[in-house]
Amino acid sequence: MQERVYIEPKQINKDLMKGLTETPLWYWIAVGCLSLVFLTAAISFGYMMNKGLGLTGLNRPVFWGFFITNFVFWVGISHAGVMISAILRLTGAEWRRPVTRAAEVLTIFSLLTAALMPLIHTGRPWRIIYWFLPYDFSRGIWPDPRSPLVWDPAAIFTYLTGSILFVYVALIPDLAVARDRSTGWRFILYSILSLGFRGNPRQWKLQAVAGILLSALILPVFVSVHSIVSWDFAVNIGVEGWHSTIFAPYFVIGAVHSGVSAVVTMMALMRWLWGWDKYIRPEHFDGLGRLLIVVACTWFYFFIIEFFFGMFSQESPELALRHLQMFEWPYNMLFIIFLLTGFFIPVPLWLFKKVRRNIALMFWTSILVNIGMWIERFLIIVPSLQRKQPFTFVWGSYQPTIIEILIILGTFSMVGLGLLAFSKLFPLIPIFDIKEGQILHEDIQIGRVKVPGVIKD
Amino acid sequence: MWFVDGWKMGWPPGAPHTWDMLGLLGLALTGIALLYVSSLPDFAVMRDHSTGFRHKLYSRLASNFHGSKKQWFFIQNRVGVLGAFYFMMLIFTHYLISVDFSMSLVPGWKDAIYPAFHALQGLQCAVAMTLLGMFLLRQFGGLKNYIGLDQFWGPAKLLLASSLLWFYFWWSGFIVYWYGRTPAEQDVLSFIMFESYKTPFFIAFVLCFVVPLTMLIWNRIRKSILGPTLIGLSVLIGTFFHRISVYVSAFSTKDVSAHSLGGVPPAILPNIGDVLMIIGTIAGAAAMYLIASKIFPTVSIWEVKENLLYRRESTFKRVKVLILGKPE
């Protein structure tokens, strides 16, 4: 599993700071394309704000559609950071080292994107101040702390704050490296951000302790965020298919599934675009693949339970909903696509070591997973709302419009632009972590075989 | 699975109890297979170091194991596969038992998280029982040199994590039921947690969550031998009371075919016969373990030797460190 490639520390600095020092052509092309998509989305949003929510497909009874699906999707992607960084750090998985920062940064940008979605969804986002600020604007309307919709921003911003702290603490040694190798405005920026880090034993100890503490403390936040988002649906007694106690762990594990898959996508792109073959190796994809098998199977278990318990009591409104989800157009097609892409194609492939170590296959299967998981959220939200009312004459349908599609695409471009901007200022692979991994590695001779080992204190 | 009337419709075959028995049998057989395969090298050692009937017994059990490369590969491979299969059977069996023996008998209780919660409690108890068993083996089995602090520290962390998950799963089920204030769901909560069976439920809550959390967050307690053992005992007692609050309540409802409880039924108290049966089954399980320890070594000899092969002590920049080998 562990393919050791010893690299000189100076070479590590040079390789991993490539993003800060060089700007290849592909970078400008990527920024250009993503900016174009983002601009189109921004114009669509502006147009929607001007003309109203009627430009979207939202209508009675389906008042939550693409925007809320996308909100849940991006909150899900944000779970990658803590899963990989905190949990693998606490369990001492050595293969996590090149993966952690990219995962944590993906968390931050996906959370920011997720937080935008409800604002976009309101249609008139400035009115949100009446809803969340605890101030009576002479309207008699106060925030309702009993509502999960109020718990959502609290959880998301707590997680965002924790994640930013987490990234920052881990970034300090690398900022010091960047400071010592830069001039001009970069020198000033890195000097401020590195907080005078000089690498003495006391500073290293503090940095390590802070990292471990943050890893442990962010775990309950990580679990609570998507649980609270799930309770937006689950505590509702009026919508068929939502009132299920399994929603919290089901959403959390689904989030980990899509988040870790997104990290696989990112790692493959980083390896190909930045040429980091020596740092992002097949063994890392092997480790991520094994993790994904466990996560995907757990997710599938929760999915099956949720589905069966939906039918447990044999109540006709619930059966009508399941019939709509599985057998009526277009949800039947989406249901099949979601199952195939979310589980039945990637997981059997991941069982093979050759596939796990094939970066191209891991890249494409991870993308398939996220397509499936986006559709899964859509299938939870929209069909249930279509069948929300007890009387069939108020059953409706939902057709997304081009405005919604453009805004959704804009969110993907936003995350991409954020990651590209980050890579220009900060190294995407933690320099100190890679060096530490090399130092802590030691081979053990057992008979005629050399077994890779790790130094533990 | 059980909303179809078994034999009349032809499928699925039989009542859910059939599935329960099959699940339990499958779990037991897989567990025995896992125990046997992982003990093969140790049977070979005991065969080579015994005489008389023991030599005959271990020769049969060791099944011609001589430590060839192919045989070791077989062991590693089979233990991995059986372990994964056992885990899947465990989850499935917990699902069957929890849904059939408790949830389906309480009208209005449709709790999708309960099977997963039940499985988690099972895992938590497994860790707790392991801690208790290790303590007893260490104290009374003369295994102090083999069962040290590390063997308690690791499971203590698992116990802390599983206790946190206990609360998480319980809260996920509770908040969804309680929030909507529907009468049927409120009745179920009152029945199982807050009125009829509130005493066993609160004992379970304290012993399975409050005590492990408040104790195991401290390094000194986690990194000790007696601390995790006592908390393991607390978890085992707490889980027992939780099972009472769920299963006794389920079997005491009058009309299992109703759509809701229609009120909160009273609790059923145990009599002396019930108490003696419980004590008897615990004693029986302990007796079976003691008898099994006469055949199977309680500490895996080959795994201890393998661990020693992968450990080296060394000096790293004036500090004594441990190097742990991590083979593929």
Q: Is residue A384 part of a domain?
A: yes
Residues 6 or more apart in contact with residue B303 via CB below 8 angstroms: none
Nearest CA in chain B to A1: B328
CB B314: neighbour CB atoms within 10 A? 13
Please name the residue of chain B whose CA is at the shortest distance from the CA of residue A447: B309
One-character DSSP codes across B69-127: HHHHHHHHHHHHHHHHHHHHHHHHHHHHHHHHHTGGGSTT---TTHHHHHHHHHHHHHH
Compute how many other C-beta atoms are within 10 angstroms of the C-beta atom of residue B132: 17
pLDDT in tens, B188-239: 999 999 999 999 999 999 999 999 999 999 999 999 999 999 999 999 999 9
Residue B17 has what pLDDT?
77
Could you tell me the pLDDT band of residue B1, with boundaries at 50, 70 and 90?
Answer: very low
Q: What is the ipTM of this complex?
A: 0.91
Tell me B141's DSSP state.
S
Say which of A220, A247, A442 has its CB closest to residue B323: A442
Q: Do A301 and B324 touch (CB under 8 A)?
A: no
Cα separation, B152 vs B209, in Å, equals 19
Residue B328 pLDDT: 63
Tell me the average pLDDT of chain B. Answer: 90
Alpha carbon A219 to its chain centroid, in Å, reads 15
Collapsing DSSP to helix, strand or coil, A268 comes out as helix
At residue B293's C-alpha, the angle toward residues B292 and B295, to 5°, is 70
Contact in structure between A236 and B175 (CB atoms under 8 Å): no
- Whether B120 has a pLDDT exceeding 50, the answer reads yes
Q: How many CB pairs under 8 A join A and B?
A: 104
CATH number where A108 lies = 1.20.1630.10
Between β-strands B311-316 and A449-456, what pairing exists: parallel, antiparallel or unpaired? unpaired
Q: What order do you get walking across the sheet with A441-446 strand by strand?
A: A441-446, A449-456, B319-325, B311-316
Q: How far apart are the first and last CA of chain B?
A: 41
Burial (CB < 10 A; 0-12, 13-18, 19+), residue A158, is middle
Residue A455 confidence (pLDDT): 87
Q: How far is CA A196 from the centre of its chain?
A: 32
User: CB distance from A306 to chain B under 8 Å?
Assistant: yes
Inter-residue contact B139 to B246 (CB < 8 Å):
no
The residues of B whose Cβ lies within 8 A of any Cβ of A are 1, 3, 91, 95, 110-116, 164, 168-169, 172-173, 175-177, 179-180, 182, 259, 309-310, 312, 314, 316, 319, 321-328
In a domain, A437, yes or no: no
Angle at A105 between CA A101 and CA A106, to 5 degrees: 115
A446/B contact by beta carbon, under 8 A: yes
The tens digit of pLDDT for each residue in B9-40 reads 544 555 677 888 889 999 999 999 999 999 99
Report which of B193, B224, B209, B94 is spatially closest to residue B161, judged by C-alpha positions: B209
Nearest chain B residue to A283, by CA: B328
Q: Residue B116: list chain A partners with CB under 8 A.
A: 246, 249, 301-302, 305
Residue A225 contacts residue A202 (beta carbons within 8 Å)? no
What residue in A sits closest to B323 (Cα-Cα)?
A: A455
Q: Hey, what amino acid is at A274?
A: W
Residue of chain A with shortest Cα separation from B308: A446
B176, two tokens: 């969804």
**Domain-embedded: residue A183:** yes
Q: Single out the residue of A166, A326, A309 nearest to residue A234, CA to CA.
A: A309
pLDDT of residue B303: 92
Provide the pLDDT for residue A240.
Answer: 86
pLDDT digits (tens, 9 = 90+) for B55-112: 999 999 998 899 999 999 999 999 999 999 999 999 999 999 998 888 888 888 889 9
Give the pLDDT mean for B48-60.
91
Q: Is the dihedral of CA A176, A182, A183, A188 positive or negative?
A: negative
Q: What is the count of structural domains for chain A?
A: 1
Instruction: Note the pLDDT of residue A3.
Output: 62
Q: What b/e sequence results for A429-438 when a residue is b if at least 16 CB atoms lie within 10 Å of its CB, and e otherwise?
A: bbbbbbbbbb
- Looking at residue A394, its pLDDT comes to 74
Question: Does the distance separating the beta carbons of B321 and A457 come in below 8 Å?
Answer: yes
Integer-rounded Cα radius of gyration of chain B? 23
Nearest to A245 among B177, B324, B326 (CB): B177
B313 Cα to chain A: minimum distance (Å): 9
A303 touching chain B per CB within 8 A? no
CB-CB contact of B211 with B227 (8 Å): no
Confidence at residue B11, expressed as pLDDT on a 0 to 100 scale = 47
How close is the nearest chain A Cα to the Cα of B31, in Å? 21
pLDDT at B3 over 50: no
Listed in sequence order, the DSSP H helices in A180-280 are 184-193, 201-234, 247-274
As a whole number of angstroms, the distance between CA B246 and CA A426 comes to 54
Q: How far is A242 from chain B, CA to nearest CA, in Å?
A: 10
Tell whether A452 lies on the interface with B, counting CB pairs under 8 A.
Answer: yes
pTM attached to this predicted model: 0.92
Q: Are B40 and B65 in contact (CB under 8 A)?
A: yes
Neighbour tally for B225: CB within 10 Å: 19
Instruction: Retrieve residue B154's tokens.
Output: 């690791």
Distance CA A141, CA A134 (A): 9
Residue A140 lies in a domain: yes
Q: Determine, yes or no, domain membership for A45.
A: no
Range of the domain at A112: 61-399
Binned at pLDDT 50, 70 and 90, residue B2 comes out as: very low
Low-confidence ranges of chain A (pLDDT < 70): 1-4, 457
Question: What pLDDT, on a 0 to 100 scale, did the predictor assign at position B15?
Answer: 63
Option in B113, B309, B322 nearest A446 (CB): B309
Closest CA to B229 of B139, B99, B109, B105: B139
Does A131 map to a domain? Answer: yes
Nearest chain B residue to A306 by CA: give it. B112
Q: Judge whether A197 lies within some domain.
A: yes
Q: Which of B1, B113, B328 sits opposite A249 (nearest CB)?
A: B113
Task: Determine, yes or no, domain membership for A44.
Answer: no
Confidence category of residue B253, pLDDT binned at 50, 70, 90: confident
How near does any CA of chain B get to the CA of A26, in Å?
37
